[in-house]
Structure 1
Amino acid sequence: MIKGMLPVLAVGLIPLVAGCAAESGDSTDPSGSSSAAVTTSADVAVTAADAAPEVGSSPLAAGLYQSAYSARNRVLWVTSAVGRPPVKTSALYKVNPRTREIVATYVPPVTDTATGALEAVYGVAVDDEHNNVWVTNTRNNSVAVYNQKTGEHLASLPGVAHAREVVVDELHNVAWATGVTDGTIVGFDTRTFAEKRRVTVQGANPAGLAVNKWTGTVYATDLKNAQIIEVSPRSETPRLIPTGAGPISIDLSRDGRTAYTADQTAGTLSVVDLRQGKVTKTIPTGTGALSLATNPRTGDVLVVNRGSATVSVVDVDEGVVRETITTNANPNHVTFGGGTAFIVDKSAAGADRKDTLYTATFCH
């Protein structure tokens, strides 16, 4: 089961910053503004170190787990699942990233008519190349594919034990998923949905995933053994790289040479030089570091700290926490769309025990 948690910095609807200029060639600005950069004298005066994020929040739905941003459609996909098996309440939500409002709800198929159990959705990743959404069905040991345009359930792909996360390599047409309980990392063809590769590391608990979009190399955190599992297209044997204690989430630097792991046991962010295969920095962030994501514009890393109910904005070059965003209890996941971070919690703080969706927009 996917873990994670956060508290609330801002309550109510706060618009995303309309004045945030996108980087050259960046078409992922969820504000819907033009991708052309507009610079004013005031903009020049503000540095990355000076700019605090603009934060907003809204209750969304019960049982939130993860989210993924589609640049192609300018929507946010959010998964939810409530309770223990048989899970009867689960949905894949299409969300307006600017207003944080649900625009469409897709309910997974029933897997057991006797109990009404659903193929509940947990992890999520977007495939904009083929206009699909991939999800992990943790309780069903499978992954599934949905169409972004219609929400149609296209396929269920079994054989991923306690499937936790999924990541899509659009350039190489591969969707990778982690099987936590059997030490597997499984790759599926995003065109045919056929299994392409299966790598097993005995005694490992693969959890978080990241992929180098240039090389196709995929990286998984081994939650049990304080290491990163590197699976390269050029090698049949996975490479094992040390990192912090209890690594559960991973992302890469913009150049793909550095990995960052959220170390749940240690409550730290580890900075790992992938060429040298060693940790170069260990940065305390908060209790139960659970999820992280790299800001594609600044290179800063956001770390969700479940036990601390905070999100740390980390300057990885300096090795310091620049900002701390306070949320509701139990923050669960963070992802980026352009210069906006999307964070979900499992606080059940809203009406009807709804969990919260946060937006944190970084202008610089």
Structure 2
Amino acid sequence: MSTLTCRIRRTAALAVALAAGSTLAATGTATAAHPDRHTGPVASAPVTAGLYQSAYSARNHVLWATSAVGRPPVTTSGLLKLDPHTLKVRAAYRPPVTDQQTGAVEAVYGVAVDDEHDTVWTTNTRDDSVAVYSQRNGKHLATLPDVAHAREVVVDERHDTAWAGGFGDGSLVAFDTRTYQEKRRVTVEGSSPAGLAVNERTGTVYAADLDGDRIIAVPPHKEPQSVPAGDGPISVALSRDGRTAYTANQAAGSVSVVNLRRGRVTRSVPTGEGTLSVAADPRTGRVVAANRTAGTVTVLDPRRGTVVRTVATGPHPNHVRVAHGSVYAVDKSHAGPGGEDLVHRFRLRR
């Protein structure tokens, strides 16, 4: 690959990472199709425009999703509570208004669940902050500032910690999930932390460094470490035992399998153009990737380095989440009857 081609790919990847999203709207009835011996049929439902990410609450059996539309001032954004079976919206909560004159709100993008404290954490990318909401009633509990272009957030329930990534300044910021106070800040100069994952057994947080082709690992009470990854890693997930990481490589259109103990990539599997999000299923060991440009979701067997199934989801799948053997993928297709984006669900089989 030429140097010019690499630069073009990297520029495109950065542009998508910096773009925060695209109406708090209606719901639809899930439809099913495409049965497969490795996965169940695919159910799809229109939800709202501007879907960005999702997170599953085992405590409440709820799928939380974020949505935001347009460039600043963003006036349409919502935190949505979805039924994980029917994919219908149970409730929708509007973030607080930040500017009375323009009607701008504290738009939500990244999302993570803290079932221990019954809260939802969001990144407010446009406002360089993180917010906390009640899972019970959607009440806005706190806004935590100074996370530059906060892209993703992940919760370590065992250690009462929420980590947020500052894509804009290379920072990883830890907050106490009980008091909401900042308790650690690590900055890796020149890095662009995008996707996050945490090993709750060790307390180590991992960040996909989009511009550095590496994973940044931050163990408790130690300096950050670097592990090589694929070309343009933008999302990261961990195996059940925490010894292996998987990165979604946006520039390469692949998923890399990374041996964290040896600090090296053991294999990279092509999945489709614009791989944007990755998730791992601890039950089956499968890895799932959303390929935004290709309009597909890929199921991988990471041990064999093979593609098990490719699911056509429609344009621009933006995020994948695996919960209790089900894959949830949100897209930016505008394919709903009212121009809504869709949520897709299918089962993984052993």
Is the TM value for this pair above 0.5? yes
Residues 1:163 and 2:150 aligned together: yes
Whether contact under 8 Å (2:21, 2:70) holds in the other structure is no
Larger RCO, structures 1/2 (Cα 8 Å, 6+ apart): 1
Report whether the alignment pairs 1:300 with 2:286: yes
Give the AA of the match of 1:113: Q
Match of 1:256 in 2: 242
Determine helix, strand or coil for the equivalent of 2:123: strand
Cα shift at 1:336: 1.4
Q: 1:336 aligns with which of 312, 316, 322?
A: 322
Q: 2:47 aligns with which of 60, 65, 81?
A: 60
- Which residue of 2 is the match for residue 70 of structure 1? 57
* TM-superposition CA deviations, 1:35-90 (whole Å, max 9, x none): xxxxxxxxxxxxxx942332100001010000000000000000000000000000
Percent identity between the two aligned chains: 58
Equivalent residue of 1:139, what SS? helix
Aligned amino acid, residue 116 of structure 2: E
Tell me the SS of whatever aligns to 2:126.
helix
Q: CA deviation at 1:296?
A: 2.1
Looking at structure 1, the residues matched to 133 and 20 of structure 2 have their Cα atoms a distance apart, in angstroms, of: 23
Structure 1 residues 192-341: aligned runs within 5 Å: 192-235=179-222, 237-341=223-327
Tell me the alpha carbon deviations over residues 291-345 of structure 1, each in whole angstroms, 9 at most, x when there is no partner. Answer: 0100121011001001110011000000010100001100000001111111000
Match in the other structure for 1:8 = none
The CA distance in 1 between the partners of 2:294 and 2:168, in whole Å, is: 27
Structure 1 residue 15 displacement after superposition: 7.0
CA distance 1:325–1:93, change in 2 (3 Å): same
Rounded Cα–Cα distance in structure 2 between residues aligned with 1:113 and 1:260: 43
Q: Distance in 1 between matches of 2:219 and 2:211?
A: 21
| Alpha-carbon spacing, 1:12–1:148, altered in 2? closer, same or farther (3 Å) | closer
2:121 is aligned, of 134, 148, 154, to: 134
TM-score by length of 1: 0.87
Gapped regions of structure 1 (runs ≥ 5):
6-10, 17-48
1:120 is aligned to 107
Instruction: Give the Cα–Cα distance (whole angstroms) in 1 for the partners of residues 40 and 301 of structure 2.
Output: 14
Kindly indicate whether residue 30 of structure 2 is the aligned counterpart of residue 13 of structure 1: yes
Counterpart Cα distance in 2 of 1:268 and 1:4: 23
Q: How far apart in 2 are the matches of 1:3 and 1:328? A: 20
User: What CA distance in whole angstroms lies between the structure 1 residues aligned with 2:21 and 2:110?
Assistant: 12
Partner residue of 1:153? Answer: 140
Q: Secondary structure at the match of 1:65?
A: strand
Conserved in 2, the CA contact under 8 Å of 1:75 and 1:94? yes
Instruction: Provide, for residues 148-167 of structure 1, a one-character-per-residue CA deviation record: whole Å limited to 9, x for no partner.
Output: 00110000000000000000
Matches within 5 A, 1:73-84: 73-84=60-71
> Which residue number in structure 1 is paired with residue 13 of structure 2?
none
What SS does the corresponding residue of 1:130 show, helix, strand or coil?
Answer: coil
Letter matched to residue 161 of structure 1: A
**1:89 and 1:118 in contact (8 A); partners too:** yes
Indicate the SS of the match to 1:266: coil
Q: Quote the Cα distance in structure 1 between the aligned partners of 2:30 and 2:246.
A: 31
Relative to 1, partners in 2 of residues 1:15 and 1:296: Cα closer, same or farther, differing over 3 Å? farther
| Secondary structure at the counterpart of residue 236 of structure 2 | strand
Structure 2: gaps (5+ residues):
1-17, 23-27
Instruction: Judge conservation of contact 1:15–1:99 (CA < 8 Å) in 2.
Output: no
Equivalent residues in 2 for 1:170-209, closer than 5 Å: 170-209=157-196
**2:30 partner amino acid:** L
1:51 aligns with 2:68: no
How far apart, in 2, do the equivalents of 1:12 and 1:188 lie? 38
Do the aligned residues in 2 keep the contact of 1:178 with 1:184 (CA within 8 Å)? yes
Task: Report the CA distance between 1:3 and its aligned residue.
Answer: 6.5
Aligned length, in residue pairs:
326
Equivalent residue, structure 1, for 2:5: none
TM-score, normalising length from structure 2?
0.91
Shift of 1:14: 4.2
CA offset at residue 213 of structure 1? 1.4
Confirm whether residue 345 of structure 1 aligns to residue 336 of structure 2: no
Give the match for residue 348 of structure 2.
362
Distance 2:21 2:251 in 1: 13
> Counterparts of 2:245 and 2:237 in 1: how far apart (Å)?
6
Shift of 1:13: 2.2
Q: Which amino acid aligns with 1:13?
A: A
Evaluate the alpha carbon distance shift between residue 320 and residue 184 of structure 1 in structure 2; reply closer, same or farther with a 3 A threshold: same
1:93-112 alignment to 2 at 5 Å?
A: 93-112=80-99
CA contact 1:4–1:345 (8 Å) conserved in 2: no
The whole-number CA distance in structure 1 between the counterparts of 2:61 and 2:19 is 26
**Secondary structure at 1:99's aligned position in 2?**
coil
Q: Secondary structure at the match of 2:303?
A: coil
